[in-house]
Amino acid sequence: MAKDNRSALNPFTGKEHYDNINDDKFLEECYREYYHIINNAQIADNSSEGQLIGNVASKLIQAVETYLSSIGRIDYVEDYYDWEFHLLLDNTVNAFCIPGGKIAVFSGILSVARTEEELAFILGHEMAHALLDHTRTRQSVQNTKNTLTTVSWFGSFAFDLIGMGEVGNLTRAAVNTASIGSQFFLLNPWGRDQELEADRLGMLIIHWAGYDITGVPAFWQKMSGQNANNFDFFSTHPADEKRINVMKSLVLEIEEGIDYSKPVLAENPNAKFTQKTDNVSMKICKNCGHKELMDAIFCTSCGAKFEFHLSCPNCGANIDEGDSFCSSCGFKLTTGELKCFNCGQIVNEGDTFCTNCGKKL
C-alpha cells in the first residue's frame, strides 16, 4: 500500500508530518542500504540471542498493531511497514530501524542490554523513530534547504541511523559498506524533540507488549551518562534532566491510568472537539467548554444548543459529508455512508435516532 492510501494523520502524534519526498523511491533506497549492510554481515538469527531478539521484536510489532486496531488506525501500518529483523555479529554497541520497519541489532549491544526489558526498550525506541517517520521528515526538510543528491544523502543515511561515532569506526562496523557521503547526516544525532517522541512511544510500545518499564529511566541514565562515550548507541542519544524526567513522568502516567482517547504524543490534547471520559464518548460545548454526553441537545452549563453534525464512528469528532478520513483521529471513512457514533450502524443524513442502538444522533 502506498502512503497516499492511508491517512496522512499520524495516529501517535495526531498531526501530519512535513513530507515532500517520493515514497516509492524513498523506501527503495532505504531498503537498498539495509540489505547492503545485512548481506555483508555475519548473521546470527539462529543463535539463542538471535531468537530472543526475534521474539521480542515480534511482541513489539504485535503490540503496535493491536493498539492501532483498537483506535481504528491499523491502516497506518497495514501493507506498508514490512517488518524484518536480524542479529549481526559485531562488537558495535548499537541497533537501528529504518523506514518501512527494517531492524538490525549489533551483537555488541547485548553487553549492555542485559535483560529482556532493556533490549525491548532499545528495539521499541528504534521502532518509534520509524513509526513517527522521523527520517522522512528530516529528508523532506533537507530537500527544502539544499540540493543534496539522493545518492549522497542515502550514502550517509544508514550510518546516521546506526549512530556510530567517527568515520573510521563507522566503516569497520558497517562491514565494508560503501562511501559515506554527507557529514551532516553522519554525525548529527536525532533532534531533541524527535528523541523525546521516540522515548515516549518506545516505552509505550514495550508497555503494550507486557514489559515492565519502571526500570527504563535508571537504565537509560546509567548507560547514556557515565558510559556514553564507550557505547555508540547511547553516545548519539544525549541524556539530560528533561529527557530522564519525561521517562519518569510516563511511568507515573501509566501507573495512574493513561488517557488513550487522544493521540499518545499529542502536543495539545485539549484542542480536540471530542474527548472520552471513562470510555464514554463526550463532546465539548463550543460556547463554554463544558463536557456533555454525545446525545445531549443542550449544554447544562450555559444552555447553548448543540448543532446536529455528522460524527466519526471511531472517535465521535465532527466530520463533513464526503470526507475520506476523520481530521481528528485519521479513521478511514466509507464514502457515502454515515454511521452512528455509538455503534457504527449506517444511518441516513437527517436521522434523529440510530435504528440499531437508539442513540440520538
Instruction: Give pLDDT, residue 288.
Output: 63
Residue type, 332: K
State which H helix or E strand residue 275 sits in.
strand 274-277
- Give the DSSP letter of residue 3: G
Report pLDDT digits (tens) over 185-235.
333 445 677 888 899 999 999 999 999 999 999 888 877 765 665 666 776
Instruction: Give pLDDT, residue 166.
Output: 40
Q: Which of 12-26, 47-61, 216-230 has the lowest mean pLDDT?
A: 216-230
% of the chain residues with pLDDT over 70: 61
Task: Pull the grid cell for residue 293.
Answer: 454526553
Q: Which of 102-116, 245-259, 288-302, 324-338 has the lowest mean pLDDT?
A: 288-302
Per the model's pLDDT, the better-predicted residue between 334 and 105 turns out to be 105
Report pLDDT digits (tens) over 234-292.
766 767 777 888 899 899 988 888 888 888 987 643 333 333 334 445 667 776 666 66
CB 220 within 8 A of CB 239: yes
Residue 86 has pLDDT above 90, yes or no: yes
Closest by alpha carbon to 38, among 133, 127, 106? 106
Distance separating alpha carbons of residues 177 and 236, to the nearest angstrom: 20
Taken in order 333, 338, 340, 343, the sign of the CA dihedral is negative
Task: Pull the grid cell for residue 115.
Answer: 535483560
Provide the CA 101 distance to its chain's centre, in angstroms.
11
Residue 1 has pLDDT above 60, yes or no: no
Measured from the Cβ of residue 158, the count of other Cβ atoms closer than 10 Å reads 25
Query: Following CA atoms 86, 90, 95, 101 in sequence, which dihedral angle do they give, to the nearest 10 degrees?
Result: -30
Quickly state the pLDDT bin for 62 (edges 50, 70, 90). very high
Give mean pLDDT, residues 27-33: 87
Give mean pLDDT, residues 73-95: 90
Give mean pLDDT, residues 127-155: 67
Quickly state the pLDDT bin for 125 (edges 50, 70, 90). very high
Per the model's pLDDT, the better-predicted residue between 278 and 88 turns out to be 88
- Give the DSSP letter of residue 295: T
Q: Which of 71-85, 211-225, 298-312 has the lowest mean pLDDT?
A: 298-312
Closest by alpha carbon to 339, among 327, 325, 349, 328? 349
Query: Following CA atoms 135, 140, 143, 149 in sequence, which dihedral angle do they give, to the nearest 10 degrees?
Result: 40
Instruction: Give pLDDT, residue 3.
Output: 57
